[in-house]
């Protein structure tokens, strides 16, 4: 298993190269049906997303106003002005989702927390699978889109915020990530399958530029008419 994960990391640019950087900035454009369901409509404007690569922290700007940004970590989420002035904050943000179902409305801090952990996960995958405390086990191969995909199940420690404690990652014959499955615990635990396309390369590291997450039916298959989240990623800058 360790060998397979090592080969996967190498296919995405290699752990040695990844370790040279501490931060990633990227341009994101977000869409999909989840935002209207949650009462937080999403416009199609591009935003700058910043994540730390070796600890869970993220920020997106602008957020809610041209001079505002978010500041996310597992134990705190905030909306700040560009000068650092706190507009709003929430400690123990995960606890604020207690009792939420699929259609429970979100406020701006709920949305900021979701954005923070989700984009941190996406922009650090698959290297986060090698982080301390993450346990990885093999899954049976699946066949989809005329390909064989090799699967890994990751179990995340309590200190890492994510969609769900257990998540599944499927890789093609080239060992690039093709699909990411999880349960969205902050939205009633609905199952989702996220498909990844159109890889781009920046500073020797490879990442999908398009992510499309669909709600799944009772059989575990993605429902093509229920696109929950769409993210286009570009202009990657590692530092």
Backbone φ, ψ for residue 90 (5° rounding): -145, 125
Q: Per residue in 148-169, pLDDT tens? A: 999 999 999 999 999 999 999 9
For residue 1, pLDDT over 70 is answered with no
Distances, alpha carbon 212 to alpha carbons 4, 136, 193, in Å: 25, 24, 8
Q: Are 93 and 108 in contact (CB under 8 A)?
A: no
Q: Per residue in 69-79, pLDDT tens? A: 999 999 999 99
Q: Are 65 and 79 in contact (CB under 8 A)?
A: no
pTM over 0.95? The answer is yes
Q: Per residue in 83-109, pLDDT tens? A: 999 999 999 999 999 999 999 999 999
Using pLDDT thresholds of 50, 70 and 90, give the confidence band for residue 145. confident
**3-class DSSP state of 145:** coil
Identify the pLDDT of residue 226: 97
């Amino acid at each position: 298993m360790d060998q397979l994960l090592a080969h996967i990391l190498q296919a995405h640019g290699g752990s040695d190269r990844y370790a040279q950087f501490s931060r990633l900035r990227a341009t994101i454009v977000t869409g999909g049906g989840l935002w209207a369901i949650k009462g937080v409509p999403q416009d199609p404007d591009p935003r700058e997303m910043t994540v730390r690569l070796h600890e869970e922290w993220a920020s997106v700007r602008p957020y809610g106003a041209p001079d505002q940004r978010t500041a996310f970590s597992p134990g705190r989420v905030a909306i700040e002005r560009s000068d650092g002035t706190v507009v709003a904050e929430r400690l123990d943000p995960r606890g604020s989702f207690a009792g939420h179902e699929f259609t429970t409305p979100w406020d701006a801090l709920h949305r900021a927390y979701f954005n923070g952990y989700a984009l941190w996960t996406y922009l650090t995958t698959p290297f986060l699978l090698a982080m301390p405390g993450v346990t990885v086990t093999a899954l049976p191969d699946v066949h989809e889109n005329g390909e064989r995909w090799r699967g890994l199940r990751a179990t995340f420690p309590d200190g890492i915020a994510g969609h769900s404690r257990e998540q599944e990652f499927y890789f093609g014959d080239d060992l690039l990530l093709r699909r990411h499955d999880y349960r969205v615990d902050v939205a009633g635990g609905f199952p989702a399958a996220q498909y990844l396309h159109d890889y781009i390369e920046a500073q020797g590291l490879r990442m999908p530029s398009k992510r499309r997450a669909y709600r799944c039916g009772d059989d575990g298959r993605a429902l093509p008419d229920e696109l929950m989240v769409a993210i286009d990623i570009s202009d990657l800058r590692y530092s």
